[in-house]
Structure 1
Amino acid sequence: MNLALWIVAGLLAVVMLTGGVTKLLVPKEKLAATAHGGWTADFGVGFVKTLGAVEILAAAGILLPALVGIAPVMVPVTAVCWVALMIGAMITHLRRRETTPVAANLLYLAMAAFVAWGRFGPESFTG
């Protein structure tokens, strides 16, 4: 179970880091032109860049606290926050009638929920 939680957290970190770096570095207009980036047209540049920074922080928060042994409770807390972020992403895509990204968001939500459940429960770092 512990290994599965580490693997899922690592995969989530890659997703979070990739999405965050993309939102920070790629111009909003270019993001809006991509297959699943149309949602950016509904938001300002500042929001998109801030979201990118939050995603990069989430990538750090899902792994680093446990790796360095400082405040490891932040791992499941980060996972719960990611669940909330994915709910917001799904709402945004559904309002725009974009169903394909919702499937990916649902997968990431499920992965984060698994990490939160496992790290708050049976494979807690405090036990």
Structure 2
Amino acid sequence: MEIAYWIVAGLLAVFYLYAGGKKVVQSQQQLLPMMGWVDTVPMPLVRTIGVLEVLGAVGLILPPLTDIAPALAVAAAVGLVLIQVGGIVVHVRRGEARLIGLNIGLLVAAAAAAWLGTTWL
């Protein structure tokens, strides 16, 4: 179970560091081609989502790696699940239900990380 956690958490961390980092540092115009929803959401909220994604990525890896409050990894995974629930809601409201495949995949992976984290932490 521990190896499965590290694989899932590592993949999620890489994804969220990249996606969250882009949201934190890039302008709305730079984000728009890849994330069409940023034109309807205030940029401070986009930046906040980016920061939460980066913190979630760090939370998946750092606590179990250092063995300092490893239960925070489960909290980070649950937070990433909630971010994806929000993403699905945004896409459905915008009439983009066809785009929720990635959100569902990330939601399932984050839920798996939360479950795997509870089995060995």
Equivalent of 2:36 in 35, 38, 42: 38
SS of residue matched to 2:70: coil
User: Which stretches of structure 1, 4 residues or more, deviate above 6 A after TM superposition?
Assistant: none
Q: Which amino acid aligns with 1:22?
A: K
Give TM-score scaled by structure 2 length.
Answer: 0.94
SS of residue matched to 2:100: helix
- Counterpart of 2:4? 4
- Report Cα offsets for 1:42-94 as digits up to 9, x if no partner: 11111111111111111100110000110000011111111111000001011
How do 1:41-60 and structure 2 match up within 5 A?
A: 41-60=39-58
Give TM-score scaled by structure 1 length.
Answer: 0.90
Q: Which amino acid aligns with 1:24?
A: V
User: Greater helix share, 1 or 2?
Assistant: 2
- Counterpart of 1:101? 99
SS of residue matched to 1:97: coil
- Counterpart of 1:111? 109
- In 1, the alpha carbon distance for the partners of 2:5 and 2:15 equals 15
Equivalent of 2:73 in 69, 72, 75: 75
Across the aligned residues of Structure 1 and Structure 2, the Cα RMSD in angstroms comes to 1.1
SS of residue matched to 1:63: helix
Structure 2 stretches of 5 or more lacking a match? Answer: none
- In 2, the alpha carbon distance for the partners of 1:89 and 1:38 equals 12
Once the 2 structures are TM-superposed, how far is the Cα of residue 101 of structure 1 from its aligned partner?
3.2
Aligned residues: 121
Once the 2 structures are TM-superposed, how far is the Cα of residue 100 of structure 1 from its aligned partner?
4.1
